[in-house]
């Protein structure tokens, strides 16, 4: 079970996530988010992590950003993948090719299957992130628990990251219910918005890896 800890804003939090044995780190480039980071700061952080031989996969999280700008930030920061978590059309994914996967927020199982058919373009996992359905202008990181039945409908056919209101106390149940390729957490391991709690990260990773 892979674990992505998202919304990393400081080097200390990144190192604590790696020490907790997270498999992926997420960096948010959506300005309204309390977890937003500037590309230059992210690039410096990733360089520091690489200097320590950190093997963790680095992912950029974007919302409705032009794909050419997404690609430029991936290159500037040395990130492996882009997670498109807004209302991007499939053409944006096509332009980024294997460098991007889509985050979806289905209301029910039928919608999750329809969105998967529209947005699955990658060959290697993760091919989608399935998050909680939220109100207009909400693009994740709300702490709202997702519809696990909707996520399971996609996970049965595709390797997905499951997100939406996960925390150390419910991640094992979520994995058992959905059977995803991996899980994604942000607010569920924080001491305050944008600042991670090392003990919570360790507990979350342990619970996910033990499932």
| For the chain, domain boundaries | 2-210
Cα–Cα distance list, 80 to 34, 95, 96 (Å) = 23, 16, 12
Radius of gyration in angstroms for the set of CA atoms belonging to the chain, rounded to a whole number: 15
Of 3.50.50.60, 3.20.20.70, 1.10.150.530, 3.40.50.620, the CATH number of 2-210 is 3.20.20.70
- Which residues of the chain form beta strands (DSSP E)? 2-5, 24-28, 57-62, 81-84, 100-104, 128-130, 160-162, 182-185, 190-192, 195-196
pLDDT at 15: 96
Task: Give the pLDDT confidence score for residue 190 in this predicted structure.
Answer: 98
Residue 97 has a CB neighbour count (10 Å cut-off) of 11
User: What is the per-residue pLDDT for 188?
Assistant: 96
Contact 85, 137 (CB under 8 A): no
pLDDT of residue 139: 56
Report residues of the chain scoring pLDDT below 70.
134-143
Peptide bond into 126 cis (omega under 30): yes
Q: Is residue 126 within 8 Å of 101, Cβ to Cβ?
A: yes
Query: Angle 148-155/171-178 helices, nearest 10 degrees?
Result: 50
């Amino acid at each position: 079970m892979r674990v992505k800890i998202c919304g990393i804003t400081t080097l200390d939090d990144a190192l604590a996530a790696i020490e907790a044995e997270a498999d992926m780190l997420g960096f948010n480039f959506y300005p309204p988010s309390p977890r937003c980071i500037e590309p230059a700061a992210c690039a410096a952080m990733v360089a520091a992590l690489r200097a320590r031989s950190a093997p963790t996969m680095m992912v950029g999280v974007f919302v409705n950003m032009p794909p050419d700008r997404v690609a430029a930030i991936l290159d500037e920061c040395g990130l492996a993948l882009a997670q498109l978590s807004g209302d991007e059309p499939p053409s944006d994914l096509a332009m980024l090719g294997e460098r991007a996967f889509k985050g979806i927020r289905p209301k029910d199982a039928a919608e999750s299957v329809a969105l998967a058919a529209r947005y699955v373009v990658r060959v290697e996992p993760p091919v989608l992130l399935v998050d909680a359905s939220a109100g207009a202008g909400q693009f994740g990181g709300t702490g709202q628990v997702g519809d696990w039945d909707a996520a399971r409908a996609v996970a049965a056919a595709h390797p997905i990251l499951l997100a939406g209101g996960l925390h150390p106390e419910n991640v094992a149940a979520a994995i058992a219910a959905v059977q995803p390729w991996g899980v994604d957490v942000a607010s569920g391991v924080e001491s305050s918005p944008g600042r991670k709690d090392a003990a919570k990260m360790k507990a979350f990773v342990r619970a996910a890896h033990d499932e």
